[in-house]
Amino acid sequence: MSFVLILAFLFFVGSLTGWGIEFFYRRFISQHKWMNPGFLSGPYLPIYGVGLVFLYLIASLEKVIFLSNPILEKLALFFLMMVVMTAVEYVGGLFILKYFHLRLWDYTDQWGNIMGLICPLYSFLWSVLGALYYFLIHPHILNALEWLSRNLAFSFFVGFFYGVFVIDLAHTTKIVMAIKKFAKQKQLVLHYEEIKERIGQYKESRLIKAGFIFRMWMDGPITRFLKEAYENTVDKINDFTDVIKENIHADDEKETPKKRR
């Protein structure tokens, strides 16, 4: 199997698995409710996909790390995983913050944070996740890839994932660009989680929701289905903009009495 296909498969697995981790983490530990933890509509988090690719590459470097003490060797490996994963989190968060004026996560209440994008606590958790990957997952990765090479029919599901992923990415980008335009005009940095909270029972995209295939079959021609998806995207952009404007207007009214004094 080519190296590119290996990385594509790892990104696929990491994105889905990471979404599941965050989904249950937010339900039972952080926010105590069911919610989509992702920036996109579908059940995947690209940052975890990128992370799994890097973990795989770093774990493969074990043979070139020469330390006399095997314990120190493992610690050096986990430290490298922590540094790389923290860098991925920082670069990804900084790009979204500077370019789209959005915060996908906020660590400002954590000790030692940098711009609210990274902090020592979550860097440590990345190292723990790296250790779990090394001991529990990495030994089986090669076997999984070997199985995949003998069962190429499974590659259809990987291809289907990337097809939906690209559509979802294009769909979400339209929404985020509308938010970016408004945030830039108002010189604001918006919290994506707060936007989703304020919208409340916001409808999931018809194109990405669980009944995707069945809806295509039930509703007829693909052209009509795509037209509906496009119209739904426009409605979402308008809803996002209206909600943000209402909140900004409410904040301005609260500040007005203070200015009169």
CA 105 to chain centre: 10
Q: Look up residue 147 and give its DSSP letter.
A: H
Percent of the chain exceeding pLDDT 90 equals 30
Residues 10 and 52 in one domain: yes
Residues 146 and 164 in one domain: no
Residues 147 and 172 in one domain: no
CA 45 to chain centre: 3
For residues 150 and 125, the answer to whether their CB atoms sit within 8 Å is: no
Q: Which tens digit of pLDDT belongs to each residue from 87-97?
A: 999 999 999 99
As given in the structure block, the two tokens for residue 26 are 């937010």
pLDDT at residue 241 tops 90 = no
Nearby residues of 109 by Cβ (< 8 Å), 6 or more positions away: none
Q: Cα(225)–Cα(169) distance, rounded to whole angstroms?
A: 18
Q: Which tens digit of pLDDT belongs to each residue from 102-130?
A: 888 899 999 999 999 999 999 999 999 99
Residues 96 and 168 in one domain: no
Phi, psi of 38 (to 5 degrees): -90, 160
Residues 38 and 54 in one domain: yes
For residues 118 and 89, the answer to whether their CB atoms sit within 8 Å is: yes
The pLDDT value recorded for residue 209 is 46
Residues 234 and 146 in one domain: no
Sign for the CA dihedral angle at 91, 97, 103, 107 comes to positive
Report the domain count for the chain.
Answer: 2
Q: Which of 153, 176, 195 is the last residue of a domain?
A: 153
Residues 73 and 112 in one domain: yes
The pLDDT value recorded for residue 192 is 75
Residues 82 and 44 in one domain: yes
Q: Which tens digit of pLDDT belongs to each residue from 189-233?
A: 777 777 766 655 444 444 444 444 434 444 444 445 445 544 555
Residue 224's domain spans which residues?
157-260
For residues 76 and 65, the answer to whether their CB atoms sit within 8 Å is: yes
pLDDT at residue 38 tops 60 = yes
Q: Which of 153, 173, 201 is the last residue of a domain?
A: 153
The pLDDT value recorded for residue 218 is 40
Q: Cα(35)–Cα(170) distance, rounded to whole angstroms?
A: 22
As given in the structure block, the two tokens for residue 130 are 């790296």
CA 201 to each of CA 40, 49, 198, 232, 261: distance values in angstroms, whole numbers, following the listed order: 16, 28, 9, 15, 39
Residues 119 and 140 in one domain: yes
Q: Look up residue 136 and give its DSSP letter.
A: I
pLDDT at residue 40 tops 50 = yes
The pLDDT value recorded for residue 242 is 63
For residues 53 and 10, the answer to whether their CB atoms sit within 8 Å is: yes
Does an H or E element contain 102, and which? strand 102-103
Residues 208 and 109 in one domain: no
Comparing CA positions, the residue from 249, 209, 235, 246 lying closest to residue 43 is 209
Residues 28 and 106 in one domain: yes
Q: Which of 153, 174, 208 is the last residue of a domain?
A: 153
Own/partner pairs, 10-13, CB within 8 angstroms, 24+ separation: 10/49, 10/52, 10/53, 10/56, 10/141, 11/46, 11/49, 11/50, 11/52, 11/53, 12/49, 12/158, 12/161, 12/162, 13/49, 13/52
Residues 190 and 225 in one domain: yes
Q: Cα(57)–Cα(51) distance, rounded to whole angstroms?
A: 10
Of the two residues 150 and 251, the one the predictor is more confident about is 150
Burial of 4 (0-12, 13-18, 19+ CB in 10 A): exposed
> Whole-prediction pTM value?
0.72
